[in-house]
Structure 1
Amino acid sequence: MEDDDAQVAMRPKMPDLLYAVIGSALPTGATKIAVDDLGRRIANEVYRPGEIMPTEPELAASLGVSRTTVRDAIKVLSGKGMVRTARRYGTRVRPVEEWSLLDAQVVAWHEPSHPRLQSMFAETTELRSIIEPQAAALAAVRATEAQVATISDAAYAMHPTSGSVEDLFDADCTFHATILEATGNLMMRQLRPIILTMLWISYEYGVLAKSPEPVTREGHIKVAEAIRARDSMGAEREMAQMLEFNRRTAGLENAGSVGF
């Protein structure tokens, strides 16, 4: 329990870029509290997939909110694919594979020690390995000088062994988000929320996990320098190698889909 508490304290906040995209859709007030509480209960198996949740009055009593607030919270969770409500059987937790697993809130609701984060880390790293090397190659050709400078500054600002997790995470988010912007591809740019959520997962499992070198500063610098040199093949290669390093660091180099 103490280890979990320490990891929660280290957990980086939602990146500003990600919050800017989803912030307007987030509930506020009592509904937000109810959504977060119920989301954590579901993510951490207080209510398991396939199970029927307590009744609306029971949930209202346990949360200390009105039934209307519970109803609104259930609607939010339904939109994230976590629950399904029907008059005949009440509210049932949906299978994990139906959840919006790239939703930043769904990720944040998991305890840092939850074994599902290992699966999410392995699979999101695979997906990043498909997308980000190509993005780096495009950035090497299309990035503006200002974007090149931002990518380079972010890479050199990363100090995994001496800086705070918060500062490391902020620099990492800036690095990857700017590379997507620098592709000049509007569709690629709109992948920023997904990539940043994937990055968040990597911090939950990879950085917060006990590792002597959780993030490779050298790898980020190599990508940045290849982009600065307008070396598209080099940027693609270095990004692919950096993501592979993430898999090796977490002991997942041979992992495919390891299940939820």
Structure 2
Amino acid sequence: MMARVEQLVRDLRIGVSFATILPLGPSTPVEDGEMTRASWSLPVAGLVVGLVGAAVYGIAHALGVTPGPAAMLALASTMVVTGALHEDGLADTADGLGGGRTRERKLEIMRDSRIGTYGACALLSSMILRWSALAAIAAPRSVMIALLLAHAAARAGLPTFSAFVPPARKDGLSASAGQPALQSAAIPLGLGALVLALGFGPGKAILAVVLLVAIGLLMARLCVKQIGGQTGDILGAFEQLAETAILLMAAAIFQSSMQP
């Protein structure tokens, strides 16, 4: 029993240290296959990121900061705590898929740390959409719910995406992490669905899941067709699209609930 608890704690520490820059990683190096096993904890890591953003928004609101700047502070705090990991993936994916003509050139561009026009436009669009969604929600409690749902649900789909879409290259972050088994991917997916149901209610949670599945299918088709599979950057882009979609959905739901 104690061994099982210790493994769960180690998985949590691996997941949080992977998704954030928080110094909570395990005391011993992560071995091959451990990241795949610990992928169930990614929605929990997302909750940690969402809580950071919600806390910053709440503090800003308590100090009298208006929703627009408070939303930007919250968004910036989530990027700081994650090291802008997924934002980097989105920019690299947009540059690679948009700027390369051949599979090899697309993968080469995605490995280049420099940002191009496609990447800058994608990153700017993502930031504006997320910021505007949070600013529109405005109420601190609703912003907290939106951030928790968006960050948890967006990361919950990553293991499933990895399980169904093979790595595009034999090296790199995605290849080294390995493809999780379908039963392992089902756990974070269930956690994400549970979080959505608690925040949105069952009916709207189903709609959110359908939306995320649609995003995943479109991303899978695009990356398989263009580069033969997924990479760490593709996973980052998927997280960003999913996070943005949930925040926009939250803004629509909370705005409609406020209308007489």
TM-score (norm 1): 0.32
Larger Rg: 1
TM-score (norm 2): 0.32
| Structure number with higher helix proportion | 2
